[in-house]
Amino acid sequence: MSHSQKGKVAAGGKGAAKAKKAAGGKKSENDREDTLQAVILADSFETRFNPFTLETPRCLLPLANTPLIEYTLEFLAMAGVADIFIYCGAHTSAVQSYILSSKWHPSTSAASPFNTLEIVKTTARSVGDALRDLDSRDMITGDFLLVHGDLVSNLPIDEALRNHRERRVKDKNAIMTMILRAGGLGEHRTKAKGITPVFVVDPGKNRCVHYEEMHPLQAHKYVDLDEELLKDHKDIEVRTDLIDCGIDICTPDVLALWAESFDYEVPRRHFLHGVLKDYELNGKTIHTEIVDDRYAARVFNLQSYDSVSKDVLGRWTYPLVPDSNLVAGQSYKFERGSLYKENDVMLARTCKAGKKTVLGKGTSVGAGSVVSNSIIGRDCQIGKNVTIKDAYIWDNVLIGDGSHVERAIIANEAVIGKSCKIQPGALISYKVGLSDNTEIRPNQRITRAKRKRDDDSETEDEVPSDPSIVGSSGHGYEFRDAEEFSDDEEAAFHSSLIYSTQHLNLSNASISTLSSSLSSADEPSGPRSRLSSFTSLSDDGDNEGFHHDAVQGILDTLHEHGDFDSAKLEFMGLRLSNDATDHQIRRAIAVAFSKHISQLVDGEQKTEASKAAASAFATGGAVPFLKNVALSTGTEEDAVDFLRCLQKDAVNRGSGPLVLAAVCQRLYEEEVVGEEAFLRWWEEAEGMGEDEDVEMKRVRAKTGVFVEWLREAESESESGSGSDEEESEEESEDE
Amino acid sequence: MAFQAIILCGPGSSFPTFTANPDETPKALLPIANRPMVWYPLEFCYRMGVTNLDNTTGTAEIFRLPEVRDVVKGDFIILPCDLVCELGGDALLEAWMVTQASLGGSTPNQSRLGHPKMALNGEKAGRRGGMTVCYDTRGETVIKGEETDFIAMTPLKAGPVPPPKSSVLSQLSNLVMSMPTDTLKDLTGKGGKLSIRHSLLEAHSRVRMLGSHRDAHIYIFPAWVMDMINSNDHMDSIGEDVIGWWAKAGWQDGLGEKLGLAEVFNSSSSPASHDDNLLDNPSTQDESDFSTLSSTWTTSVPKPADVKPKLTIPPILTYQHPTPTPLIRRVDTAPLLLSVSLQLAKLEPTETGGTSPLTHPRKFAYPAGIASRTTVTRPDCLLAENVTVEERCSLKECVVGANCQIKAGAKLTRCVLMDGVVIGNGCKLTGCVVGKRAELGEDCTLVDCEVQENLLVEAGSEEKGAKLMSSSGMEATEEELEEELA
């Protein structure tokens, strides 16, 4: 990466100059309060705004027709910040040229409220890298504000700053103060959805003592508080109502802590959580300033883009509203019914530009069109009889007659043909063209961005348009997340404009058990219907990547007689990153076990099926792994599903019938699968009669003996079970 | 019919030194500031205006006893016998009524406003909730070994009008977890971690957890709680099980069903029959839902019968006592008895204008018994009837029971003497609790000791932090002593 080298040299030069200044400023350690420094993380190193952030940096995305960074800089100007460092990752040059041409840069604009403003280029791939880089540059001389380039806030920080400094004087270890906005007890559109931050606060000391995040995909549905913590803090509050606006008042010690831990990447889930957890070790305390009035929020994903836009139009962010005309050249006026309109807007006489709408300069709306709750940028041409509802349309967009846009984002210079239908959640990126009569499905993302070649070179390739999506004369293709970015919950919660958990396979939280006698019978069964295990067999096709990796991982463990405890971690990580369903997990495990055992049977050693199964199950932690991962819910449906997966896989194996019988027996003996599940699986298979696949029938034939035995054992008294077991073992070996 | 109060009197296993013989001295009769313990809850009920009392022993299981079931007819209050509560019970009762049992029909049916949990309109809109009280154990002095409870609560939705300052309403919260600290230790167990369910945090966005507070065991319960206790055999104690499960059922979906609350709520004891229990209102007033008469409300369409409505668990509220005064305290260990007695001794007596309901008419009931050349500090000492203090004594921060004899030259600091104690010449006692009719020989020096009743302490004994009890060999002499006294 050639440009990075250049960046470093340039920054080094600046850093040296800065160091001189810092040396001069050292003597005035006491009056460092006079100048406040701020660091803006203009790049979040996330992919939540894809496909838009493929072509523009996040901080330049327009929010109510004003780039996001304008709001952040306004906030910092109000806070009285003197020196600003803007950290950029991708698209640094775009940020640089924007800032240089704006009113903010002191060297190009006399009106700039800042003493210095420096744009730092970095090769960082995470916030952690950026802050470690900052630490090495030695530019920070005192307390500084750390904010993100997507902050929208009208908070005065004076009080928080004063409290922070008071604490700091009393205790050198009070290294950071987070400003958090209380979001009220009920629902709030600006509260984070999906991933909820959990702040554990000692209200007496305003100290944050624990932090973690919870989301519905977590298997561990608990927030764990340390016992010590409860002992040390007799009064604590566990708060999920706080809106984290990412304003941190930091001391230089914070950077030192970042520098110490190379694995910290994000400020909250890693840094905050880690520092609080290591309190015993480092003795550093992090404090909170919880505010109840004024506005503060981050535009950290598309859902918050939606909610913060609405807050801006609802004037919660005053004075940061369109009619304040933050950017030079804007001429918004606030009209009746919360209509913000710039000069030179042409509205046809029969169109309706309704409530809570923003219309930029040079935009025209054709006859009979209806625009409501939407933000439309400059120089857009909206045709006749167009309906635009709850949508965000940026600059220079053309929308053909009769089109319908609802709850979507359409980026600059996109061209929408006539009578198109754009459904909720759709994202249409820069310069995409849609032919007439195209329909864009909900949550579809369309882009024309060039794709980088895999070999890490700078050349980018034009991606051919996909006519099945954009129509015959359209331009653009459907955007899919690259494999490497789709890790953890990111994709599940952040990437869509509309928050929904419908596509996620969420299991119900368990409820307290009263006592052993009561719990078993009354446990509410999962949402799965009896039939779902049948239908799910057909959708094995998707997520093949997960299946392959997972099977390989388990096979390796089995081959090497490894330890399943460590394999489990890997497996769960894989599961999260691929958003795999329970069924996919069961299938992968079933395939791996069946494959391993049949390899032993068919291999050179010619191990007997039952012995091969026994050796597989004897691998360290295999039984708990099966119980906790494959059959984590413990319901009968899942066990039946698991058996069916085994059966299906056995079809492809030479010694399939034997392996299936042996595995079934082991599963029963290790109490992984109960006899009810076996019987049900068998009955369901028998019940299919003619419809049953011939192969499937053949494969399960050998297991019939075992099932017969189970039936007998059930009907008989328990006394004779010992001898029966031996019998059946012999029988299965015979086969 | 009015409220009923049930005072639970246990055998007092937490006072081993003083209740060795529970038949003679049950815990409930141990003196706190020269009054038997049970006087305090009785007086509390009297002040609250509840005159229907029951005195029993045991905990939740007693509510399964048929005699108790027969006695308790309506909403009821449970008090422990070791409660010292200066705060008026009327304030608590008022708060409960305002939140849980509004005067029939005077407020619009809130279920239409989106929060069905408040049982207004009698029990038309849902069952009434309950209320508990807790206080901070960290007062002016730290008492060693005082039990604490782990209490988690969430704020109530603020009403449109702030409650008046005098009302306790502003200190009410919704209880979501309650357990003794010992149970908490069991829970955290091996990992040393307390796991909080996500469902709690999803249901409540602000959960406050208090570790140093203590459940005062004052419970205001609606009548249906009786049925709940009876249908759940596993509930042993009120504080831990009844309250604990109820609080949890409020946020765990499905737990209410598991506890059989659906049946309890739909049981034959129909809500209407309870309504008149509450305030002696003519029941007609309760039955008419005034909000339906208003034209601004549209009557809701009745739900189809086959749709099982979601079970709404009535809220259990908790009043968190904010300040050390007025006093709320449970006295269930000797150090607490000492500290609370001394605290009560400092109250201004009624003869000089003291207004606390727990104060005594006079500081020194028998001034003539105090010799002239001796020091007894008036602001913090309390002397009962017929106490004689001989010359050259010094009593600071002491509570002395009736018929005690303090002989010449004794120096007592921060001590509680129960009735009929004899302190020998020149004894020095600091921070001691001395049981009934105990006798201390000359020149004893005791620091932070507990002396069992009827015990003879040999002259010249020196002890620190000990529990002086009769050894098994001395029991005979104790019995002899009793016979003598009898």
Q: What is the DSSP string of A690-710?
A: GGS-HHHHHHHHTTHHHHHHH
Please give the Cα distance from A187 to A196 (Å, whole number): 13
Chain A residues with CB under 8 Å of B234 CB are 514-515, 518
DSSP run (H or E) holding A108: none
Q: Tokens for B69? A: 């079931």
Determine the average pLDDT of the residues in B269-293.
42
A226 touches chain B (CB under 8 A): yes
Q: What are the CA-CA distances from residue B433 to residues B22, B25, B34, B389, B455 (Å)?
A: 18, 15, 13, 18, 12
* Sign (positive or negative) of CA dihedral A305, A474, A91, A69: negative
C-alpha A210/C-alpha A189 separation (Å) is 25
pLDDT of residue B351: 84
Q: Which helix (H) or strand (E) segment is A214 a member of? A: strand A207-214
Q: What is the ipTM metric for this complex?
A: 0.80
Per-residue pLDDT at A192 exceeds 60: yes
Q: Residue B285's pLDDT band (boundaries 50, 70, 90)?
A: very low
Other C-beta atoms closer than 10 Å to the C-beta of A502 total 5
Proportion of chain B above pLDDT 70, given as a percent: 74
Partner-chain contact A524 B191, CB within 8 Å: no
Give A 576-605 residues with CB within 8 A of chain B.
none
Counting beta carbons within 10 angstroms of the beta carbon of residue B355, is it exposed (0 to 12), middle (13 to 18) or buried (19 or more)? exposed
Secondary structure (3-state) at A513: coil
Q: Taking 90 as the threshold, does the pLDDT of residue B480 lie above it? A: no
Across the interface, which of A223, A231, A522 has its CB nearest the CB of B196?
A223
For every residue of A442-501, DSSP letters joined together read TT-EEE-PPEEPTT--S-EEPPPP-HHHH-TT-B-EE----GGG--TTIIIIISSSS---
Instruction: Give tens-digit pLDDT for B404-454.
Output: 999 999 999 999 999 999 999 999 999 999 988 999 999 999 999 988 888
How large is the average pLDDT for residues B460-478?
69
Task: Tell me whether the omega of the peptide bond preceding residue A319 falls within 30 degrees of 0, making it cis.
Answer: yes
Q: Do the Cβ atoms of A509 and B197 come within 8 Å?
A: yes
Q: What pLDDT is recorded for position A38?
A: 93
> Does residue A519 register a pLDDT over 50?
no
Q: What pairs with residue B80 in β-bridges?
A: B8
pLDDT tens, position by position, A222-277: 888 888 888 888 889 999 989 899 999 999 999 999 998 888 888 998 999 999 98
Location of structure tokens 């042993």: B236
Verify whether the Cβ–Cβ distance B193 to A221 is below 8 Å: no
User: How many Å apart are CA A503 and CA A537, to the nearest integer?
Assistant: 17
B484 C-beta neighbours (distance < 10 Å), count: 7
A511 vs B: CB within 8 A: yes
**Chain-chain contact of A518 with B258 (C-beta, under 8 angstroms):** yes
More confident site: A381 or B453: A381
> What percent of chain B is helix, strand and coil (3-state, nearest 5)?
30, 25, 50
Q: How confident is the model at residue B313 (pLDDT cuts 50, 70, 90)?
A: confident
Share of chain A above pLDDT 90, in %: 32
Q: Is B192 on the interface with A (CB under 8 A)?
A: yes
Which tokens hold the place of B415?
Answer: 């001590």
pLDDT at B23 over 80: no
Cβ–Cβ gap A223/B232 under 8 Å: no
Phi, psi of A646 (to 5 degrees): -60, -45
For residue range B204-242, what is the model confidence (pLDDT) as tens digits?
888 998 888 888 888 888 888 888 888 887 777 777 788
Best A209, A240, A523 residue to mutate vs chain B (most B CBs within 10 Å): A240
> Which one of A181, A224, A511, A516 makes the best mutation probe of the B interface by having the most chain B beta carbons within 10 Å?
A511
pLDDT greater than 90 at residue A705:
no
| For residues A617-627, average pLDDT | 76
* Residue of A215, A225, A231, A513 to mutate, testing the B interface (most B Cβ within 10 Å of its Cβ): A225
pLDDT over 90 (residue A23): no
Which region among A267-271, A700-704, B237-241, B476-480 has the lowest average model confidence (pLDDT)? B476-480
Report which residue type is found at B289: D
Across the interface, do B202 and A240 touch by the CB < 8 Å criterion?
yes
Do B258 and A511 make contact, defined as CB atoms within 8 angstroms? yes
Task: Write the single-letter amino acid at A384.
Answer: K
In sequence order, what E strands does A570-665 have?
none
Flag whether pLDDT at A51 surpasses 50. Answer: yes
pLDDT above 60 (res B173)? yes
Calculate mean pLDDT across residues A12-27.
40
- Report the distance separating Cα A239 and Cα B206, nearest Å: 4
Contact B196 A511 (CB under 8 A): no
Two tokens, residue A239: 């708060």
* Percent of chain A topping pLDDT 70: 82
Say whether A185 and B155 touch across the interface (CB within 8 A): yes
Phi/psi region, residue B368 (left: phi>0; alpha: psi -120 to 50; beta: rest), is alpha
Give me the mean pLDDT over the B159-180 stretch. 79
* B192 with A227: Cβ contact below 8 A: yes
Give the confidence band of A368 by pLDDT, cuts at 50, 70, 90: very high
Task: Give dist(CA A732, CA A710) in Å, integer.
Answer: 13
Q: Is the pLDDT of residue A710 over 90?
A: no
Angle, helices A582-602 vs A544-559, to 10°: value is: 40
Asked if A509 lies within 8 A of B208 by C-beta distance, the reply is no
Q: What percentage of chain A's residues is helix, strand, coil (to nearest 5)?
A: 40, 20, 40
Set of chain B residues whose Cβ sits within 8 Å of the Cβ of A240:
201-202, 205-206
Facing residue for B194 by CB, picked from A225, A240, A515? A225
Residue of A nearest to B207 (CA): A238
The verdict on A514 touching B (C-beta cutoff 8 Å) is: yes
User: What was the pLDDT predicted at B108?
Assistant: 39
- Domains of chain A, each with CATH number or no CATH: 35-303 (3.90.550.10), 331-482 (2.160.10.10), 523-734 (1.25.40.180)
B187 touching chain A per CB within 8 A: no
pLDDT at A723 over 80: no
Where is mean pLDDT largest: A24-33, A467-476, A488-497? A467-476
Q: Which of A497-511, A604-618, B279-293 shows the lowest mean pLDDT across its residues?
A: B279-293
pLDDT at A727 over 50: no
What CA–CA distances, in Å, run from B90 to A467, B1, B72, B128? 77, 17, 20, 18
Taking the C-alpha atoms of residue A169 and residue A34, their distance in angstroms, rounded to an integer, is 16
Question: In this predicted model, which residue has the larger pLDDT, B239 or A531?
Answer: B239
Q: What is the pLDDT of residue B190?
A: 64
CB A663 within 8 A of CB A613: yes
Does the beta carbon of A572 lie under 8 angstroms from any beta carbon of chain B?
no
Give the three-state DSSP class for B379. Answer: coil
Interface size A-B, in CB pairs within 8 Å, comes to 109
Q: For the purposes of burial, counting CB atoms within 10 Å of the CB of A669, is it exposed (0-12), middle (13-18) or buried (19 or more)? A: middle
Best residue of A196, A201, A235, A506 to probe chain B, by most B CBs closer than 10 Å: A235
Distance CA A648, CA A697 (A): 10
What number of other Cβ atoms are within 10 A of residue B339's Cβ? 22
CB A302 within 8 A of CB A494: yes
How close, in Å, is residue B176 to chain A by CA atoms?
12
B293: phi > 0 → left, psi -120 to 50 → alpha, else beta; which?
A: alpha
Q: Do B201 and A223 touch (CB under 8 A)?
A: yes
Q: Is the pLDDT assigned to residue B142 strictly greater than 50?
A: yes
Q: Which two tokens stand for residue A42?
A: 């203009």
pLDDT band at A532 (very low <50, low <70, confident <90, very high): very low
Instruction: Using alpha carbons, select from B307, B276, B268 the residue that is nearest to residue B122.
Output: B276
Give B-chain residues touching A224 at CB under 8 angstroms: 191, 193-196
> Does pLDDT of A505 surpass 50?
yes
DSSP assignment of A605-625 equals S---HHHHHHHHHHSBTHHHH
More confident residue, B346 or A568: B346
Burial (CB count within 10 angstroms: exposed 0-12, middle 13-18, buried 19+), residue B307: exposed
Rounded to a whole number of angstroms, the distance between the first and last alpha carbons of chain A is 63
Q: Does A698 score more than 70 pLDDT?
A: yes
CB A408 within 8 A of CB A429: no
Taking contacts as CB-CB distances below 8 angstroms, the residues of chain A near B206 are 185, 237-241
Provide the pLDDT confidence category of residue A484 given band limits of 50, 70 and 90. Answer: very low
**Given this model, what pLDDT does residue A170 score?**
92
- List CB contacts (< 8 A) between A214 and chain B: 198, 201
Give backbone dihedrals phi and psi of A91, rounded to 5 degrees, phi first. 55, 40
Tokens of B214: 């203590």
Higher pLDDT, B216 or A10: B216
**Residue A148 banded pLDDT, cuts 50, 70, 90:** very high
Alpha-carbon distance B192 to nearest alpha carbon in chain A (angstroms):
5
pLDDT at position A503 is 62
pLDDT at position A312 is 92
Q: Which residues on chain B are in Cβ contact (under 8 Å) with A218?
A: 198
B199–A198 CB contact, under 8 Å? no
Instruction: Give the pLDDT confidence of B373-393 residue by residue, as tens digits.
Output: 888 888 889 999 999 999 899
Q: Is B193 on the interface with A (CB under 8 A)?
A: yes
Using 50, 70 and 90 to split pLDDT, how confident is the model at A385? very high
pLDDT above 90 covers a percentage of chain B that reads 12
Token pair listed for A28: 């005035």
CA distance B150 to chain A (A): 9
- Residues A221, A627: Cα–Cα separation, whole Å: 18
Q: Is the pLDDT of residue A539 over 70?
A: no
Q: In terms of residues, how long is chain B?
A: 486
Confidence bin at A435 (pLDDT 50/70/90)? very high
Mean pLDDT of chain A: 79
CA–CA separation, A669 vs A666, rounded Å? 5
Nearby residues of B423 by Cβ (< 8 Å), 6 or more positions away: B404, B405, B406, B407, B410, B412, B417, B429, B434, B440
For B254, which of A222, A228, A524 is closest by C-beta distance? A524
Sign of CA dihedral A140, A146, A151, A155: negative
With a cut of 60, say whether residue A11 has pLDDT above it.
no
Contact A76, A38 (CB under 8 A): yes
A232 in B contact zone (CB under 8 Å): no
Q: Cβ separation of B257 and A522 shorter than 8 Å?
A: yes
Q: What is the pTM of this model?
A: 0.73
Please judge whether A222 and B198 are an interchain contact, meaning their C-beta atoms are less than 8 angstroms apart: yes
**Is A512 in contact with B248 (Cβ distance < 8 A)?**
yes
Å between B117 CA and nearest CA of chain A: 15
Nearest residue, CB atoms, B197 vs list A203, A221, A524? A221
Q: What is the pLDDT of residue A458?
A: 59
Cβ count near A699 (within 10 Å): 24
Q: Using the beta-carbon criterion (under 8 Å), do B259 and A198 form an inter-chain contact?
A: no
pLDDT tens-digit readout, A583-617: 777 888 888 888 888 777 777 666 777 777 777 77
B201 → closest Cβ in A214, A224, A511: A214
CA-based torsion, B334, B340, B345, B349: positive or negative:
negative
CB contact under 8 A, B201 and A198: yes
Q: Do A239 and B196 touch (CB under 8 A)?
A: no
Q: Which of B261, B223, B235 is nearest to B77 (CA)?
A: B223
Judge whether A322 and A64 are in contact, CB under 8 Å: yes
Closest CA to A433 of A411, A409, A402, A407: A411
Of all residues in chain B, the one with the smallest CA distance to A515 is B234
